Amino acid sequence: MGWFSKKKEQPATLNSARYRGKPLLILLENYVLDCIGCLPSQTVATVTSITQQVYGGGDDWKTTLRSTLHLDESLDENLRQMWTHNQEVARQAGQPLSPEDFARMVVDQNFSSLVD
């Protein structure tokens, strides 16, 4: 199954079965959304609070995650480049690619070992 053949999923909520018992999963998806400029401003306080509850740290939740998970700072730019590239691929294929679907796919394909 490719990036564009996946059936569109409903928007994520903290209470959905996908995230139950997996706070890191939703934090990583929101990290991706933030990097590509698609994290709603009203969500920042929630992810900051979850990050602080789970991992400690200050108000910069992304720095806390990068430090805790040993992620390179170049990740942010790499995610932006992936988003731009995959939007173009989706456009050429005539398929929609929502930011949320992109974030889920990136996390599932690249961070599953951290989440499981």
* Residue 15 predicted with pLDDT over 70: no
CB 33 within 8 A of CB 100: yes
28: amino acid identity, one letter: L
Q: What is the pTM assigned to this prediction?
A: 0.84
Q: How far apart are CA 56 and CA 7, in angstroms?
A: 36
For residue 67, pLDDT over 60 is answered with: yes
Residue 1's CB is within 10 A of a number of other CB atoms, namely: 7
Instruction: Give the Cα separation of 98 and 79 in Å (integer).
Output: 14
Q: Does any domain span residue 42?
A: yes
Residue 4 lies in a domain: no
Whether 88 maps to a domain, the answer reads yes
Residue 56 resides in a domain: yes
Expressed as residue numbers, the domain containing 79 is 23-115
For residues 97 and 65, give the distance between their C-alpha atoms in angstroms, rounded to a whole number. 26
Residue tagged 């939703």 (tokens)? 26
Please count the structural domains in the chain.
1
Residue 14 has a pLDDT of: 55
With respect to residue 9, please indicate whether it lies within any of the assigned structural domains. Answer: no
Q: Is the pLDDT of residue 10 over 80?
A: no
Q: Average model confidence (pLDDT) for the chain?
A: 87
Residue 112: count of CB within 10 angstroms of its CB: 11
Helices (H), 36-74: 41-55, 61-69
Nearest to 97 by CA among 44, 15, 32: 32
Quick one: average pLDDT of 56-85?
A: 95
